[in-house]
Amino acid sequence: MHEHIAEAVKEPQIVAVPPGMICLRFETMKLYAALGAVQHLLNTGRVKPGDTLVDSSSGIYAHALALACHRHGLHCHIVGSTTVDRTLRVQLEILGATLEQVRPSRNLRLDQNLRVRRISQLLRENPHFHWMRQYHDALHYLGYREVADLVRKEVPEGPLTLVGGVGTGASTGALATYLREAGRDVRLVGVQPFGSVTFGAEHVLDPDMIIAGIGSSIPFRNVRHDLYDRIHWVNFEYARSGAVALLRASGIFAGLSAGAAYLAARWERQRDTGRTHVFLAADTGHRYVDSAYAGHSDAVPVEAMRPHEVAGQGALRHPWSAMDWPPAHVPAQDAAHLPQPENV
């Protein structure tokens, strides 16, 4: 029996998905990041029960941090994106977390900059708050060792290709690192939206993109670029089509990042059938019903989709581009170790 719902909710379902892939389907994946980080902070004395933890979120991390704070007797304050919907707002309120949302914006850069600016103001006004720094502090990698152990036990032995949203880097980056440290042959494929600066796509905008959680308009310091072997950039139309196709093929109702990862995993499997392909579905599809799933009749058949294979970011274009990483002009780095948590 679990001591708290957070421990039960975090565990993913491992589901076989046609054509011959595996999905790690989470209700809210970032619970691993939040619980691991909060436990580390408590263990090291950097925070204590009753303290207030604060961070920015487009939705998934807000729920995860609120549950982690509830689990450990901490206060939680979230500066949220407009993508935080009514269902989540009510849950946060009842859990005891406080939420303030920045003004509406359809621009990823403006939305994230507004949230970070508000965090800075809060810290000046409340110096005793602890900023979780989900975009920068590598302590968010720690909780994913448990997921890596689960993959080692449940996914057949042999070469593995892991596909998922880059986001802060803590999920896919940490999973690949822990699996590689255990001796697994892992090829890591990251998924990004157009407009994200993380892998140099800020010059190709997508005004319809609403999956800010897998990309960034500001540099994320806990993304380890050298951990990745391939990057896919997927626009809103194709991410929605992938999510709809995933639901039809498997019954998995997941977010837009899962739709994009599903497309990327299908393509990577066509290129190399000798590896097991695992992709991440980081959240459920409920908050995307009106903004994406309601337009399912406009979904493009996945069989008709293929990415533009490019050699550099200058050639990126809609609706889907893919590239080996690092490009030939960027030297690879040693990917043996995770970045270290910051003492802030």
Angstrom distance (rounded) from CA 220 to CA 216: 7
Q: In order along the chain (344 residues), what is the average pLDDT of each group of 10 residues?
A: 92 94 95 96 96 88 94 94 82 94 64 79 91 91 96 95 90 96 97 93 83 76 94 96 97 96 98 96 90 91 95 96 83 50 48
Contact status, residue 296 vs residue 266, Cβ threshold 8 Å: no
Q: How high is the pLDDT of residue 114?
A: 79
The domain in which residue 219 lies consists of 5-29+141-324
CATH of the domain at 106: 3.40.50.1100
**What's the whole-model pTM score?**
0.91
Return the exposure string of 265-292: e unless at least 16 CB atoms fall within 10 Å of the residue's CB, then b.
bbbbbeeeeebbbbbbbbbbbebbeeeb
Same domain, 263 and 209: yes
- Residue ending a domain, among 103, 138, 173, is 138
Sign of CA pseudo-dihedral 244, 301, 275, 160: negative
Q: Read off the pLDDT of residues 205-260 as tens digits, 9 standing for 90 and up.
A: 887 776 656 888 788 888 999 999 999 999 999 999 999 999 999 999 999 999 99
Same domain, 179 and 300: yes
Alpha carbon of residue 3 to chain centroid: 26
Same domain, 150 and 169: yes
Q: How high is the pLDDT of residue 216?
A: 80
Report which residue type is found at 301. Answer: P
Cross-strand partners of 189: 163, 230
Joined together, the tokens standing for residue 63 give 């729920």
Angstrom distance (rounded) from CA 336 to CA 220: 20
- At CA 134, angle to CA 259 and CA 219, rounded to 5? 80
Same domain, 119 and 257: no
Angstrom distance (rounded) from CA 294 to CA 269: 29
Contact status, residue 256 vs residue 343, Cβ threshold 8 Å: no
Same domain, 195 and 109: no
Joined together, the tokens standing for residue 1 give 């029996």
Angstrom distance (rounded) from CA 58 to CA 111: 9
Total domains, the chain? 2
Contact status, residue 164 vs residue 29, Cβ threshold 8 Å: no
Q: How high is the pLDDT of residue 212?
A: 58
Same domain, 123 and 25: no
Same domain, 277 and 128: no
Could you tell me where the beta strands, DSSP code E, fall in 92-242? 98-101, 130-131, 160-165, 186-192, 230-234
Same domain, 262 and 294: yes
| SS3 of residue 224 by DSSP | coil
Q: How high is the pLDDT of residue 337?
A: 52
- Residue ending a domain, among 117, 138, 159, is 138
Q: How high is the pLDDT of residue 338?
A: 55
Same domain, 158 and 13: yes
Tokens 């803590």 appear where? 170
